[in-house]
Structure formats: structure tokens, C-alpha cells
Chains A and B, each alone.
Chain A
Amino acid sequence: GAGVSQSPRYKVAKRGQDVALRCDPISGHVSLFWYQQALGQGPEFLTYFQNEAQLDKSGLPSDRFFAERPEGSVSTLKIQRTQQEDSAVYLCASSQNGLAGTQETQYFGPGTRLLVL
């Protein structure tokens, strides 16, 4: 079936603009993760959803970052008043179940490359 998809693939924003990044997980996947990948670095965890519930947002770098998954499928990561340090690739991943301590495979989307000028 279809994998994880993300849109847009590229986004250029002027400093101070708000942006919204979309993730379509694999159909039926309960768990959804957002990661931020700076240039030349490994992905870093931002937030986690189990269905529509945001159970962990400990990785969100500031209150300018907000994520939602209102119907338990598509998720949106919103960044308000973007700053240059927000420039990165934003990756979404999904996995089938939502058990604590899960050892499930996470399937990644292609990412959205955000450049803040």
C-alpha cells in the first residue's frame, strides 16, 4: 500500500511567517511521530500521537510549534512566527500500534524541507 506522504516537499518562508506542514500516515497506523532533522544531523524527536491524542510533546523546541491530529489520521505541524533556526527537514513517521515501550518499525515520510529566510 501507500507509504507515509508529506506535503509540501519544500517550503520557503520569510522570517515571521506561519507555516503548516502536513503528514499522511500509512492507513490504519495508530502511532504518528514528528522529527526535526537539521543539516548533517540525525532526526530529533518532536512529538508523538496515539490516534488523536498527543501523548508526548516533550521535543517541541518552543511554544511556536504546535501539532494536531484531530481525526486520528492526518497530522499537521504548525510553526508560528518562523525563525531562521527553524530551517530543517521535518520528518513524519508512523507505526502500526501504540503500545508503551513498543518495538515496532517506524515508517518515515520523505520530509518537508523548510527554509526560513
Chain B
Amino acid sequence: GENVEQHPSTLSVQEGDSAVIKCTYSDSASNYFPWYKQELGKRPQLIIDIRSNVGEKKDQRIAVTLNKTAKHFSLHITETQPEDSAVYFCAAINAGGTSYGKLTFGQGTILTVHP
């Protein structure tokens, strides 16, 4: 099955700096890659996603890039703010065979933005 590796496990930045989180996946059939933000004790919330037919997607301060050949994708947050502090999870969907869209998550990155 699919395996997703996420790095780094913790990331500390100063307010206004950029943050980058990287993920690799194992199943070349995966074609949908969402990123979720989870604040302490809260539900995971989708912040951005990318499909395999595009290489980059941007939404204000957040961008995601996808390299299908290398099977890795990254989350980029620019001009970080303290409210960006949370745990971020990447995920992949194995779209082949009898898969029904179950997400395989990375291990998570704890992002801390210092004022």
C-alpha cells in the first residue's frame, strides 16, 4: 500500500519567515495530495490540495508543489504568522484498483511561529 514520509517533524521559524514542509510518497498511482492543518484538540482542516495533473498551486500565502517523477510534494508558507502555528499533515490518495479515496497521512510537522 501507500506510504507517506513527512519532514521535518518539528519546525520553528520567526514571524515573517517562510516555512517549507516536504513529503514523499511510494505509490506512483496516487493522484491527489491534500494538506491538513490541525490545531491542538481540533479537527484536521484542509488548507490546500493538488492534483497530479498540475505541478504547483498557490492560495495567498500558501503554495504546494508536486514532482511526480520524484514522488514528492511540498508545502510552502510565506510571511508566517503566529496563528500559523499548528500541526501540518500531508496526505496522498491511492487512486488505483479498489481504493475509495482513503487518505494515507504523513507523520505530521509541528510548526511554531515565534512573534
Contacts and interface: CB of A to CB of B under 8 A. Distances in A.
A109 interface: yes
A112 B36 CA distance: 18
Interface in B95-115: 95-108
A103 B31 contact: yes
A91 B43 contact: yes
Given A103-B31, A110-B42, A41 B107 contact: yes
Contact of B95 (A33, A59, A101): A101
A101 B101 contact: yes
B20 interface: no
A35 B101 CA distance: 13
Contacts, number: 80
Given A56-B102, A106-B103, A101 B96 contact: yes
Interface residues of B, number: 30
The A interface is mostly helix, strand or loop, or mixed, namely loop
- Is the interface on chain A under 10, 10 to 19, 20 to 34, or 35 or more residues? 20 to 34
Interface stretch (A14-22, A42-50, A62-70, A71-79): A42-50
A31 B107 contact: no
Contacts of B4: 42
B89 interface: yes
- Max count, chain A CB within 10 A of own CB: residue among B44, B45, B101, B106: B101
A103 B45 CA distance: 16
A48 B89 contact: no
Given A103-B95, A108-B43, A48 B100 contact: yes
A109 B43 contact: yes
A105 B34 contact: yes
B13 to A, nearest CB: 20
B42 A45 contact: no
Given A108-B44, A110-B42, A110-B43, A103 B101 contact: yes
CB-based closest 5 A-B pairs: A42-B105, A101-B95, A103-B32, A102-B101, A45-B102
